[in-house]
Each structure stands twice: as C-alpha cells, then as structure tokens.
C-alpha cells in the first residue's frame, strides 16, 4: 500500500482513536455506517389492397401517434440517469451537483443532519437502517493507489466505521469499474455488546476527494433488507462537480 497521510475522525457519533492512512488531507467522517424503458411498436401486416379513404386517414393518425410516443420514450431514455433512477420502484434518488455524486435510498427513509456527514438518510423506526455519504480531500487520483480492496476496506472499517468496542469482520471486498472509474465495494459485520450491524460500503476517488457511502441494517433484519441495501450501494456514482447530471 502506498504511504499516505493520517486521517483523524472528529465530530463523529462516537470517538475513534488512531488514524486511517488513506492519503486524505482532512477528516473523513462516517456514521456506523439505466434502465431503459423498452418500447415495442409491432407492425401489423395488411393486405396489399386499396383501403377506403377513411381507413387511410385512421392509419395515418395511428402512425403519427405511435411515432410521437416512440419519440417521447427516446427522450426519456436519453435523459439523465437521475431521472431514470427516480423511476425505480421503492427508491428515491439523490443527485448532488456541487459535490459530484448520486445514489438511491429506500422510499420512506428520512434525511437527518449529522455534523461531519454530507448526506444521511435513515429509517426512523429502525435506526440502524441508514445510508450516509462523506468526503475528504485527497491528493490521490485513483482508489487503487491506496491498496487492494481488502486492504483499504479493512483499514476503513477498523479505524473509522466501527469503534474499538465492536468486533468487526470483513465479509467481502472487490473492485468494480463503472464508466472507467474504479470503485471498491465491501461487506462487513460489526458486533456490539447489544446488537450486530450488517453493512455495505462503496468508496472511490474523484474530483480531488475520497468518497465513502455506507449503508446497513440490524443483523436480525439483514435477510429482509439486503437486496435493498445492495441496490443502494450499487447505485452510488460520482461525476464531475457542477455537471447538470451524473
């Protein structure tokens, strides 16, 4: 792993000792943690005979209507990914043009303000079900500059995502490439004295920042929530700051 600067967590939900060497300039603060719409126009064969004038007019009108509908669907397909994301049933989309990222979160989660977090949404009934995004400046250009997926994920989990009182286990860490950008995604379990949280994360570098998205749920609800949480973490994307769309 390349040598990096020290990361110190401040103003967090819980204090964390030590530092996370991820080449970040400032604190990385974290909580516990297109689909194209198909349109088919089926042409119906007609006898090669002269149709009555009224039928010709009706056929022309039908053709014009179908053409307009096809054009409308083409516009929808060509629209921003955030628009397509909003159409995903059961989820709402977030697109931050100023900081250059977007993601989905389950419908019904509420936005809350936590100092040090850029965005946080959580379930008001199940507080361990949440998603957060944090950023920290970095001089690195690519997430791979920091090490392998297991190395980076393990350091992030132990030094930032879980307090010393919790026992953590990295389940999986892998690299994904989307639009030429590398992301590390990982799964881990953090066991506290009175609960166990099953979580997912996605990290990447761009715009001079180290981005981290984390989401998770109580272990007792993991089987019910895991598909939704995988949708959340897989939806996380970064784009150039100030762009109109991701």
- Identify the domain boundary among 48, 81, 114: 81
Domain extent for 49: 36-81
Q: What's this model's pTM, rounded to 2 decimal places?
A: 0.67
The CA-based angle 62-65-70, given to 5 degrees, is 125
CATH label of the domain that carries residue 206: 3.40.1000.10
214 and 122 in a common domain: yes
- Give domain status of residue 169, yes or no: yes
Q: What is the mean pLDDT of the chain?
A: 75
User: Contact at 8 Å (CB) between 236 and 202?
Assistant: yes
pLDDT tens for each residue of 33-77: 333 333 333 333 444 444 444 445 445 545 444 444 343 333 334
225 and 114 in a common domain: yes
Main-chain dihedrals φ then ψ at residue 191, nearest 5 degrees: -105, 120
Q: d(Cα 46, Cα 10) in Å, to the nearest integer? A: 73
129 and 101 in a common domain: yes
- Residue 158 in this model has a pLDDT that exceeds 50: yes
pLDDT computed for residue 11 by the predictor: 32
């Amino acid at each position: 792993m390349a040598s990096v600067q020290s990361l110190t967590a401040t103003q967090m939900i819980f204090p964390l000792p030590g530092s996370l060497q991820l080449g970040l300039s400032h604190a990385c603060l974290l909580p516990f943690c297109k689909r194209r719409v198909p349109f088919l126009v089926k042409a119906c064969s007609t006898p090669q005979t002269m149709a009555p004038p009224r039928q010709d007019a009706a056929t022309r009108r039908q053709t014009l209507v179908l053409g307009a509908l096809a054009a409308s669907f083409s516009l929808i397909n060509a629209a921003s990914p955030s628009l397509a994301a909003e159409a995903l049933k059961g989820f709402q989309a977030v697109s931050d043009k100023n900081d250059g990222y977007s993601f989905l979160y389950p419908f019904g989660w509420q936005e809350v303000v936590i100092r040090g977090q850029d965005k946080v949404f959580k379930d008001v009934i199940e507080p361990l079900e949440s998603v957060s995004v944090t950023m920290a400046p970095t001089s690195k250009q690519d997430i791979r500059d920091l090490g392998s997926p297991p190395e980076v994920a393990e350091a992030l989990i132990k030094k930032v995502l879980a307090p010393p009182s919790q026992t953590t286990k990295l389940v999986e860490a892998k690299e994904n490439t989307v639009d030429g950008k590398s992301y590390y995604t990982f799964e881990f379990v953090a066991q506290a004295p009175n609960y166990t949280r099953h979580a997912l994360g996605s990290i990447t570098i761009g715009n001079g920042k180290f981005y981290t998205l984390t989401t998770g749920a109580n272990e007792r609800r993991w089987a019910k929530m895991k598909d939704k949480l995988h949708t959340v973490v897989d939806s996380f994307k970064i784009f150039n700051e100030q762009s109109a769309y991701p």
